[in-house]
Amino acid sequence: MADRDSVLEALRHQRIELPSWAFGNSGTRFRVFPQPGVPRDPYEKVADVAQVQRYTGVAPSIALHIPWDRVDDYAGLSRHAADNGISLGTINSNTFQDPDYMLGSVCNPDPRIRQKALDHLLECIEIMDATGSPDLKLWFADGTNYPGQDDLRSRQDRLAEVLVAVCERLGPGQRMLLEYKLFEPAFYSTDVPDWGTAYAHCLQLGEKAKVVVDTGHHAPGTNIEFIVAFLLRADKLGGFDFNSRFYADDDLMVGSADPFQLFRIMYEVVSAGGLEPEAGIAFMLDQSHNIEPKIPAQIRSVMNVQEATAKALLVDRDALRRAQSRGDVLGANAILMDAYDTDVRPLLAQLRTEMGLDPDPFAAYARSGYAERIAAERVGGTQAGWGA
Ligand code: LRH
Ligand code: MN
């Protein structure tokens, strides 16, 4: 088994970025159920992320989504974040809500609309310059609903043209993270549907372009850890959008639907040195808390990633290598399962105590009274949401 101190050291330096939109109201086409205390602006979203950081110690940054988090003074928002002990992280573009994007944004047949989409992406890079964010995350809803609706190859040409322009605009230390998704909102073809398409575009674009693996964006039965291992080997894994699902892009709490899958993914990350800061992997949550209280759900999600990571770090990799090389199928599987079946909650409680935190972040937050306070204070104004 790996030694306890090195496991604790790795866990102490883990960093998980939280999505601003997880703190706003969210739902499905059937209903968005508003919740008391939901933030009304990015400043209040920052304050809520700071709560998760306060109790977990490993979530010191917030991913922003433009225009949902557009403000007049990004330097001011950065200062507010710093005052709350967190930083402004990944900038997410949004070319999926404007009425002009009904038939697509960067892949739209109309060059005027493609230019409009590119202008938005360039605005997002301006915002990165203002916030000091290193990463621009691009997810395109672009696709078609019926065969023949548009030319699949031409749409790839249009996409490639815009991505080249984005990469050319990126400054030193800035990256473009391309996210793929099998389907939804398009139901026949999606222009970036899978890891292969994203990887191929990023290969052509060069070192500034990497792939994001959103764990909810695959066909059922997909071996996601294989994709992770492949992209790590090719040095093309830029980050994760962690969540979990039972059926489609359910955006549920990471690890809640399939904790074993999350463990297998984190095992590939750990094995490739992907937890090291210099690996440059952005570990982000991308979730929607449609019926559950949002801050506790984010705390639970961070704890789920920590548990999967701790188990992955505990794998006796030397013994596993030996079993694998002698073709000991059951022996090798048993070594991996031994780590997975280890209860790491006492280890994580020790970690938090050593970090000066309450060993149970979830209970500590519940005792804090913050939920009651924001429900009482955040009255009036417009609660944040997806604005769809
Ligand atoms: C698309 C997606 C993407 C975000 C959005 C909030 O499904 O995963 O990462 O822009 O959710
Ligand atoms: Mn995502």
Nearest CA to ligand 1 atom 10: 139
Nearest ligand by distance to the CA of 288: 1
Query: Which of 45, 69, 179 most suits a substitution to test ligand 1, by most atoms within 8 Å of the C-beta?
Result: 179
Per-residue pLDDT at 2: 76
Closest CA to 248 of 306, 197, 291, 184: 184
Per-residue pLDDT at 387: 73
Going from the Cα of 364 to the center of ligand 2, the distance in angstroms, rounded, reads: 29
288 Cα nearest atom in ligand 1:
6
Is the distance from the beta carbon of residue 142 to the nearest atom of ligand 1 less than 6 Å? no
Going from the Cα of 135 to the center of ligand 2, the distance in angstroms, rounded, reads: 14
Nearest ligand by distance to the CA of 184: 1
Residue 113 CB coordination number (10 Å): 20
Is the distance from the beta carbon of residue 139 to the nearest atom of ligand 1 less than 6 Å? yes
Distance in angstroms (rounded) separating the CA atoms of residues 141 and 106: 10
Nearest CA to ligand 1 atom 9: 139
Q: What is the pLDDT along the chain (388 residues), one digit of tens a residue?
A: 679 999 999 999 999 999 999 999 999 999 999 999 999 999 999 999 999 999 999 999 999 999 999 999 999 999 999 999 999 999 999 999 999 999 999 999 999 999 999 999 999 999 999 999 999 999 999 999 999 999 999 999 999 999 999 999 999 999 999 999 999 999 999 999 999 999 999 999 999 999 999 999 999 999 999 999 999 999 999 999 999 999 999 999 999 999 999 999 999 999 999 999 999 999 999 999 999 999 999 999 999 999 999 999 999 999 999 999 999 999 999 999 999 999 999 999 999 999 999 999 999 999 999 999 999 999 999 999 987 5
Nearest CA to ligand 1 atom 4: 139
Is the distance from the beta carbon of residue 214 to the nearest atom of ligand 1 less than 6 Å? yes
Query: Which of 26, 284, 286 most suits a substitution to test ligand 1, by most atoms within 8 Å of the C-beta?
Result: 286
Kindly tell me the burial class for residue 242, based on how many C-beta atoms sit within 10 Å of its own C-beta (0-12, 13-18, 19 or more).
Answer: buried
Structural contact between residues 86 and 62, judged by C-beta atoms closer than 8 angstroms:
yes
Nearest CA to ligand 1 atom 1: 139
Going from the Cα of 355 to the center of ligand 2, the distance in angstroms, rounded, reads: 30
Structural contact between residues 79 and 105, judged by C-beta atoms closer than 8 angstroms:
no
Structure tokens at 273: 């040195």
Nearest CA to ligand 1 atom 6: 286
Is the distance from the beta carbon of residue 249 to the nearest atom of ligand 1 less than 6 Å? yes
Is the distance from the beta carbon of residue 26 to the nearest atom of ligand 1 less than 6 Å? no
Per-residue pLDDT at 58: 98
Is the distance from the beta carbon of residue 48 to the nearest atom of ligand 1 less than 6 Å? no
Going from the Cα of 138 to the center of ligand 2, the distance in angstroms, rounded, reads: 9
386 Cα nearest atom in ligand 1:
6
Per-residue pLDDT at 259: 98
Q: Tell me the whole-structure pTM to 2 decimals.
A: 0.98
Per-residue three-class SS string for the chain? CCCHHHHHHHHHCCCCEEEHHHHCCCECCCCECCCCCCCCCHHHHHHHHHHHHHHHCCCCEEEEECCCCCCCCHHHHHHHHHHCCCEEEEEECCCCCCHHHCCCCCCCCCHHHHHHHHHHHHHHHHHHHHHCCCEEEEECCCEECCCCCCCHHHHHHHHHHHHHHHHHHCCCCCEEEEECCCCCCCCCEECCCCHHHHHHHHHHHCCCEEEEEECCCCCCCCCHHHHHHHHHHCCCEEEEEECECCCCCCCECCCCCCHHHHHHHHHHHHHCCCCCHHHCCEEEECCCCCCCCHHHHHHHHHHHHHHHHHHHHHCCHHHHHHHHHCCCHHHHHHHHHHHHCCCCHHHHHHHHHHCCCCCCHHHHHHHHCHHHHHHHHCCCCCCCCCCC
Q: Which residues of 42-72 are buried (b: 16+ CB within 10 A; e: fewer)?
A: bebbbbbbbbbbbbbbbbbbbbbbbebbebe
Per-residue pLDDT at 388: 54
Going from the Cα of 214 to the center of ligand 2, the distance in angstroms, rounded, reads: 5
Going from the Cα of 176 to the center of ligand 2, the distance in angstroms, rounded, reads: 14
Per-residue pLDDT at 1: 61
The pairing of strands 18-19 and 61-65 is parallel
Distance in angstroms (rounded) separating the CA atoms of residues 116 and 220: 35
Kindly tell me the burial class for residue 247, based on how many C-beta atoms sit within 10 Å of its own C-beta (0-12, 13-18, 19 or more).
Answer: exposed
Going from the Cα of 5 to the center of ligand 1, the distance in angstroms, rounded, reads: 36
